[in-house]
Each structure stands twice: as C-alpha cells, then as structure tokens.
Structure 1
Amino acid sequence: MMSQSMQEEAKLDAMQRHWQSLRRGTPSSNILFEDVIETDNILALPIQNSHVESQIGACAPILKSLSCDLDSDSEFIDIHDCNVTPKSPFQIPETEEPIKGPLKLDASSLGDIPGQYTICALEPHQLPVVGVYIDPRVVPGFKYLVRPLPEVGKPSTMNKCLFNGKALTLTSIGRGYARRFTFESDKFIGNDNYFWSDNRPEGYAFELELLSEGDKFTFFNPNGEPEGTVEVLSIEGPQTEIFSSFKNGLVDKRATVTFTGKVEYYETGVAKPVLLSGTILSRKLKNKPRAEILKISRVNIRRHRYYLLPGIQKIHRRFTVRGDSINDVPTKYTMTGLESYEIPVVGTYVDPRIIPGFFYKVRPNDRRNHLFGGRALRLLSIGMGYAKRLTFQPDSLVEPDNYLWSDSHPDGLGLEPRAVHKGMKFVLESGDVVLGEATVFRDDLPQVEEHMERIKTPNGEAVQKYIFIDVLCHIRLARTGGASTENEEHLMRVTGLAVVRKEPKASEANVIRIENIGFDSQLLILFARTYPDLTLVPKIY
C-alpha cells in the first residue's frame, strides 16, 4: 500500500515538473486551460497573419498534451493548481482596416517616356492619369467622371469631381509630354472642358460611367420574350470596369453596375422602383464619336433572371384583355405594340371605356399610321354580335364609309381618346375674372384618359371623362377694362385636365372646362400668385 502511494506521488511530481517546464518555455501558454473552445474556432480560420501562425505553431505541443484520452492511464491534475492567467495568445486583437499604401506608377511599363510617379491609393473603380502615365483603359468615346487626387496618404475620393460633378464623354487625348484631355462641350460656341495631365502633380482619377440616369431599357427573359421596361432613376454605386477589349477598331468594355430602376411589366402596367444590379456591355465603334450600350446581363427582378436591351421598344409592349363572360363572349386576347394611352379593340372585345359620342383616333396595331387620314372622329355607335361594328362620323351622308369591325385587324386596334382639337377656342378665367382667350394651334401630342365616371341624373346616366391634354395655343390676354389688341397674342404650350361630359340623351360629348392649367411661360408665375384657380372654358358664340 505504501509503495503504491509513493508511486502515485512520484507520478504527480513528474507531471508537475513537466507542466512547469512547458510554462517556462512558452510564457503565454499557461492560459490554454481557460479558452479551449475559442482556440478551436481560431484554428478553424485560414492563417493569414505570420505572427498568429508562429504562435499557433509554438503552442501545438501544448494542444497535443491537452488532448484527453479517456482510455489511457494518465493521471489528471486540478486546473486551478496551474496558476492560470486571464489572457489567451489566440485572441486576435481588433484592428482597424489596413490603410492602403501609395501607388507607384512607371510610364515605361506602358511603352512611354520612363516617368515615375507616386500617388495616393486608388479605389478599384478609379483609373490613374498623371504626367505621361495614362491608364490604357482610359479611351476616347466613353464617359468619365474626373476627380483630382489629393496628397499621398489621403483618401482618393476626398476631392470633388471636375465639370460640376458631371460625367462627360472624352473626345480626345493629345500627344506630347503634357497630354491634353478634351471632353464634350455643353456650349454652342467654345469649349472649356479640358485640362492637361501634368496640371496636378498628385494626378487625376478617371471613373468610368457606362450607365447614366434617365437611360431606358426593355427587359427580356432567358427565352428572348420581352416582359417590360426599365428606366434608370439613380446610380447607386461606382461602375467598376471588369473587362476591356481592343480589336479591329472596336473597343468593348464591361462593368458592374448597381442602380434603382422604374420597372414596368407589360402585363400589369404598374411601375415600381426596384434596386437592380448586373453586368453592362458597351461598345465604341471606329467611326462613331460615342460608345453605346449593347446589353445589361445578369439582372434579377423578383427573383427571376433577365437581360436588358437599350431603348423602350414599343413593338414589344403586350396587353392582355378578357371578354366579359356575362355580357359578352368569354374570350382572351394578347395584343402586342399597343401604346400606353390607347384603348384596345380586338376580335370580339371592345373596351368598356370606348363610348359613342366621344372622339377617337384609330390605329391598327400592325402599323404606325392612323385610319381616316389621322383625324379624330366622333364614334356614333357600337354594333352587337360576335364582330362588333364601330361606326364613326361620316364625311358624306350619301356614302358613309367611316366604319370598321372589331375583328377586321387580327392584331387589334388602338383607340386614342381626344378632347381638344385644333381651332377650338376657350376663355381663360379665374373665378369671375376673364383673363384672356386661347385658340388651339397644334394638337399633335397624345391625349391620355386618366379616369371615367358615370353620374346619375334625373334624365338618365351621364358619362364624364377626364383627359390629360398637351397642346399649343395662341393666347390673347385681356387688358384692364376689357379691351384687347392683337399684339398681345402669345404662343404658349398649355397642359391641363379636360373634363368631357356626355349627357344622357345627347349624341355628342362636350368639353365643360380644362382645369389644372399649366403654361410653358413666365406668365404662369404671375397667374399663380394672383389667380391660383385658372380654368379654360369653351367660348360660346
């Protein structure tokens, strides 16, 4: 018994001497007993710091000695007897983001004069230009934001961009020791948008801009079917160039873009702003002064992948209509190419907004020209049956031929409602005050029906439409005292909401007034202050 106890004490002394020697060899290793779990997590990370790697290598034997083999006959000691300190060598201290060092440039690497420069660190989307060093990715024909660089050690984005912060198209790069960079001008005479590459010893940063606010696209699914349109509302981040190609006079560039776009589906007609991102491809042809966007790929909209092609391609606009199963034949049609302001007619379907007594312009969907010589005619009647006959006001009562059937054109028809016509005269009023007269001179732009309502009256049901107009008018302002002269006539663009009403037993709808008047003139400022409720009322002879 005594011998067994002495053997155990000898083993305990040997183990303590072993641990003490390890503690003296590795001063910080005595804390491993506390944070074993944290140690496992740190070891699972990739080793990128040589200091941490050396610490882990030094502690490897300790970790090995800490492995617990439950089947072995080793004796264990109390952890609290090891004089444990609260710190761990594996706890990586929190450090700030490493500051990027200065960027050294050598123009001889580009086959140019061996000029060497040191500038501040750049962001991934910035291209350096300083002295004779011109980044080869800076190419005329593309748009760039130009930002003067600060001194070495300061962030490259601290200075404001040139040209009032606008991205301009680079038109040319001069030759010689000091290269002149010339950009497109926003003036008719003269051009102040230029500078020399050696104007600043700190240099310049060029930031590529392939996509700009206001650009419009049509988006397609992977099968090549168009599904809607996108308008760029704002750019949400830098456009980082990821690829450049120079071949046979063609310059191709790819960049990553993130932007907010107004997405409108053909099926719903509802437009909503959506945050989008993708890869944009732009190409500069040899004989063209500016690069053009070819495609934006890898764009996700509502968890579906699309690609965008430039321009709103109206020929792809799709519109689906369904016949009323109670009052009409239960049919379904999909029309392609219908304008947003046109009301559909196809097959057996006639949109319920099309009502006799109102004026319409008629356009077949498979062509750009309108029927009836492009005139807006009053609709007289809508026939019954499978194919409905639409009869318009005839040019001759002897041989009336201004009519068609709803199924005459397989691609359907688009009817544009018209409220105001060339030659119509109005009185400009504000309450009981007459301010002048207006005569419609041009009515070329579309007129859009905003909504329609049915009003019950003692004589039946009246139909009232609200149609947005945008016309040119000759406006003659009234003098104080009621007199007016011809030299006071002004040609102005007038916008407003025309209220058109068809009484229950009337055959023709009439304009009651035009409200929410807007003038493309400084007179609107005067009227807005003095007469806030301007209206145009049809002139009665």
Structure 2
Amino acid sequence: MYSNTLGSLEEDKKLEEMQRAWQSRKSLSSSIFNEIPGSEDVLGLNQKKQSPKPLKTHDDLDIKKSNKRELICKFEQFKKIVTPTEKRQQTSLALDASELGDFPARYVICSLKEYQFPVVGIYCDPRVITGFKYRVRPLPKVGEDSTKNKCIFNNRALTLTSIGRGYARRFTFEADKNKLNDNDNYFWSDNRPEGFAFEIEVVSEGDKFTIFDLNHEAQGTLEILNTEGYQIELSNNVTGKGIEKKIQVKFIGKVEFYETGVAKPIPVSGTAICVKGKGNNKAGIVKIIDVLIKKRKYVLRPGVDTTKRRVTVRGSDIKDVPTKYTMTGLKSYEIPVVGTYVDPRIMPGFYYRVRPNDRKSHLFNGKTLRLLNIGMGYAKRLTFESESKIENNNYLWSDNHPDGLGLEPRALHEGMKFKVTAGGQVLGEASVFRTDNPQIEEKMEKIPTKDGKFAIQKYIHVDVICHVWLTTPGRCSTESEQYLMRVCGLAVVRKEPNSINSRVLRVEKIGLDSELEILFRQSNYELVFIP
C-alpha cells in the first residue's frame, strides 16, 4: 500500500514536469511538427491533424496509471526529437556588416570560441588590427566545431601587416626571412564562404622577461618554455599611447630568482598589456601584470636587464667574517668579490678578467691575467701576474670598490694551438683567433693525487673563433684545407698541487659552426682539441 502511494506521487510529479515543458514548447511544437517526420505519430495526432488540446493537471482529471505511463513515454520521445533541433540552432552565429558601418552583407558561420575573431566576406571583426600577431584558422561548415581545421601558415602566429579595401579584403602577414621579395603569406577574406577565425598571440616560446616585485625592484628572470591554452583578449582600447590590448595568458616559465640562482619550471598566468604605438608597425608587450609566483604577486617586463641582476653573498657561508653584501649588475658568468668576501671558486693559478661592478670596462686594460695570490685578513689582496718582475702593479684589495668586482674565468686565449683529434686519430690543427664571447665556469673539482694531495680541475664553457687546418684524405700530410669557424666546447683546465700555473688538458664536447659538424656526427666520432 505504501509503495503504491510513492509510485503514484512520482508519476504525478512527472506529469507536472510534462505540463510545464509542454506549455513552454507549445509555440515551438507547431513549427517543428511540419519539419520533423513522424512527430505526429509519436503524439497520436496523425488521424485528423488537429492541434493538441492543453493538458490538464491531475487535480482536474482522474487519469488511470496506465494512461499516465503512456503519456510520460510520449513526452520522453518528444524531448528526444526537439532537443537536437534546439542544439543545432545554437551552433551558428549571424554576422551583419552594416553594424560595422560597411555594406549590409549578412553571413552565418559556426559559433566561435571566446578567443576567436571572425573574418568572412566583407565582414572583419574590429578587434583584428594590423601590428598584432594572429593565428588564422579556416572555419568549417555551420554545425561543426570552430577548431576542426588546422591553422594556415604552418600553424604559425604571424604579424598582420595590412588589410586591403574593397569587397574582398586582402590580409597580408609578415614575410618569411627567405622570401622577403616573394611573400606568400596572404589571403582574401572571401576565399572561403565559411570564413576564417583569428586567434591572437602576444607571448611565444623563448620570450624572456625580468621579474619585478610590487616595489619595482628586480627579483629575477623568466623564460617562457611552453604556452598553455589559448590567449584570450579581455579589452581593446585607444589610448594616448596608441592601441592597447589586454590579453589573458598562461604558460610554463623557467623562473630564476637572483636570491637563489636556481632556475625552475613553474606554471604562470597573468594579463599581458600590449600596445601598438603611433607610427609603429608592430605592437609590443609593455608588461604582464597580476603574475602569481609562489603565492606572491609580481610584474613581468620584456627583456633581461643585466644591470638589474642582484646577487647576495654571505661571509658565513665560506666560514669567513659574517658579513652580507648585495651586488647589483653582476653578469651571470662573473664570480663575485666584494668587501671581505672572496668567492671560493676564485683560485690562484687560473686566469681571470676583472671588471668593477659599477662600470662596463675591465681593469688592467682588459687583459686576461693569471691570479698569483689571495691575501689574508678582512680586506684580501688579490695579486695578478705582471710583465715587470721588479715592481708588480697588478693588484687590488677586495674592498677597493664598494659595488664589488666581477671576475670572469678564462680558459682559452688568442694564439693557443691545438691538435684536432677524432677517434684517437689526428685530423689537423686549430689556432684560436678570437675570444670575444664570455667563458663560463660550469663546475670545479678537487681530485686526489698519488702523493695524498689534491689537484684543482675546472670545467669552463668556451665559444671562440678558430683557424682550423684539416688534412685532406689521399694527400700528403703537409697538404691541408684551412677553415675559419666558430668552435664551442667544454675546456678542462687543471692545476697540480705543486704548480703555480694551470694548464688546459683538452677541449671536449666540440660543436662546429660548419658543415663539417654533420660529417663528424654521421661518423660517430667525437672531436677533441688537445694542446
């Protein structure tokens, strides 16, 4: 008895739901019946094609349980017919060019995503502006997903350079570097009756930024490793500076804070403010605001400003006087010396270039000198080699410059000669011609020797220009071909326990800026330069 009462209440509730849905769809049903085959059979109206009478509630009719179930089944079938039709009507978007002050042309395209701008025929969304970068995606037929087709121009985001006039507008994008005089990156807006979708892009992989806190002090650097999702335009305004867009961005960034010196990939999101100034052909990012990193807000500004780089050193970390210094402007490859602090990586016997942190020029006329000695005390005296054996003026104290010093380690010098070897065979010779690029110390090791002492061994990245002579197979050993090429590698420099001078053991992991690099890689032989 109790279960029958519950079943009756459930059926009554379904009837009430059917009554409300019927009244809301009453106006729609009359237009759908003529288009949907079999709809009259479902509702039992195919005999006289009379319009259905309004259903009464269960208070006015004493309907049997069997009739209730039958009406409910018909109502469920009716929902299956009507619902897909309504969904189809929501997948299209009507565009009217007259609303933009253009010709009164009307188009129907598939419904766009929130990050897409439509272009079809003579209709061009006003948010599509020259100077900004876009990906262009051909739209499919109405009713299909607007992201079905792949983007043109090899899925690249290119800067829009011009929008033509007339009934069919020509959209021209920046040319490829190898086709400056033969630009193929263009199309006409009426090339496809389905139209095109423009997707804006303001940040890309490889872009670098400087991280500032809310006090406008630089805290570190960030490099975009990978963009995530789509970049959504939030606003488009004309200001005194030009056209300003605000775009929501998300990406994975390699974040390196000056305080730690450790780079880590971190997911980052924010709002990029991009401005195309008056008279400029390209828009640029001014800053990215509302950036949250480790639960703190920051602002990103484009570019890496080395003059803002800060390094904090503590004497207590090297068991010295417990002092603390913060240096601003030190290069990433320079080793700090300031006040009573001398970095433990600075060792006598190795070669360095010395630069005061408050200037661009180096001391000692920019020469690379061998460090002879590091004195004791609060202010350490650093003495370098000198041409004069009677009076050595190449020295300084660690506290000479309040802003500190930066010492760049140097492994290779102009005029050094090496044998070019591969697989144990000598292939030719190399002579160092230019050493303009910085040389970066990767690590330093203490290696025990047979007498119980330790040798100091450093691994330094080098990037130099060399004259290379390679012996041609089938010719005499004295006959060779000369090349001038860029050589990158890892120099291994060692100082023995009882020696006052370091020496280069070899240069390994060689990379050549030449077609010869391909030949050596195919032969599976690793090039090694040996002094």
For normalisation by structure 2, the TM-score amounts to: 0.83
Match status 1:360 vs 2:352: yes
CA deviation string 1:404-434 (max 9, x = no partner): 1101111111111000111110001134311
Match status 1:522 vs 2:515: yes
Partner residue of 1:180 out of 125, 149, 170: 170
In the superposition, relative to structure 1, how do residues 29 and 146 fare at CA in structure 2: closer, same or farther (>3 Å)? closer
* Alignment match, 1:335: 327
1:270: how far off?
1.1
1:531: how far off?
5.4
SS in 2 for 1:488: strand
Partner Cα separation in structure 1 for residue 407 and residue 14 of structure 2:
87
In the superposition, relative to structure 1, how do residues 249 and 388 fare at CA in structure 2: closer, same or farther (>3 Å)? closer
The list of structure 1 runs, each at least 4 consecutive aligned residues, that deviate by more than 4 angstroms after superposition, is 52-55, 58-62, 93-99, 484-487
In the superposition, relative to structure 1, how do residues 276 and 479 fare at CA in structure 2: closer, same or farther (>3 Å)? same
Match status 1:117 vs 2:117: no
The answer to whether the 8 A contact 1:395-1:402 is kept is: no
Partner Cα separation in structure 1 for residue 291 and residue 285 of structure 2:
15
Q: What amino acid is aligned across from residue 120 of structure 2 in structure 1? A: V
* Alignment match, 1:500: 493
* Alignment match, 1:435: 427
The answer to whether the 8 A contact 1:430-1:531 is kept is: no
CA RMSD between the two structures: 3.3
Partner Cα separation in structure 1 for residue 210 and residue 133 of structure 2:
22
In the superposition, relative to structure 1, how do residues 531 and 158 fare at CA in structure 2: closer, same or farther (>3 Å)? closer
The answer to whether the 8 A contact 2:12-2:58 is kept is: no
Q: Unaligned stretches of 5+ in structure 1?
A: 1-18, 33-38, 40-49, 63-83
Q: What amino acid is aligned across from residue 117 of structure 1 in structure 2? A: Y
Partner Cα separation in structure 2 for residue 202 and residue 259 of structure 1:
31
CA deviation string 1:76-132 (max 9, x = no partner): xxxxxxxx99x9x9xxx9999956331111111111111111111111110011111
For normalisation by structure 1, the TM-score amounts to: 0.81
* Alignment match, 1:207: 199
Aligned 1:42-441 pairs, distance under 5 A: 51=21, 98=87, 100-186=90-176, 187-248=179-240, 250-324=242-316, 327-441=319-433
Partner residue of 1:465 out of 458, 467, 470: 458
Partner Cα separation in structure 2 for residue 241 and residue 508 of structure 1:
61
Rg larger in 1 or in 2? Answer: 1
* Alignment match, 1:29: 13
1:28: how far off?
2.0
SS in 2 for 1:127: strand
Partner Cα separation in structure 1 for residue 415 and residue 509 of structure 2:
21
CA deviation string 1:111-170 (max 9, x = no partner): 111111111111111001111111111110000101111111111111111111110001
In the superposition, relative to structure 1, how do residues 465 and 223 fare at CA in structure 2: closer, same or farther (>3 Å)? same
1:61: how far off?
12
Partner Cα separation in structure 1 for residue 251 and residue 423 of structure 2:
47
1:530: how far off?
3.2
Q: Unaligned stretches of 5+ in structure 2?
A: 26-54, 60-67
Stretch moving more, 344-353 or 427-436: 427-436
Q: What amino acid is aligned across from residue 397 of structure 2 in structure 1? A: W
Q: What amino acid is aligned across from residue 155 of structure 1 in structure 2? A: D
1:173: how far off?
0.8
CA deviation string 1:155-192 (max 9, x = no partner): 11111111111100011111111111111101232211
In the superposition, relative to structure 1, how do residues 61 and 246 fare at CA in structure 2: closer, same or farther (>3 Å)? farther
Partner Cα separation in structure 1 for residue 203 and residue 22 of structure 2:
45
The answer to whether the 8 A contact 2:254-2:266 is kept is: yes
The answer to whether the 8 A contact 2:118-2:196 is kept is: yes
Q: What amino acid is aligned across from residue 304 of structure 2 in structure 1? A: I
1:399: how far off?
4.1
Partner Cα separation in structure 2 for residue 427 and residue 53 of structure 1:
93
In the superposition, relative to structure 1, how do residues 440 and 188 fare at CA in structure 2: closer, same or farther (>3 Å)? farther
Stretch moving more, 393-402 or 194-203: 393-402
In the superposition, relative to structure 1, how do residues 196 and 345 fare at CA in structure 2: closer, same or farther (>3 Å)? same
Partner Cα separation in structure 2 for residue 130 and residue 469 of structure 1:
54
The answer to whether the 8 A contact 1:477-1:484 is kept is: no
The answer to whether the 8 A contact 2:318-2:344 is kept is: no
Stretch moving more, 319-328 or 256-265: 319-328
The answer to whether the 8 A contact 1:29-1:59 is kept is: no
Count matched residues. Answer: 478
SS in 2 for 1:352: coil
Q: What amino acid is aligned across from residue 328 of structure 1 in structure 2? A: D
Q: What amino acid is aligned across from residue 152 of structure 1 in structure 2? A: V
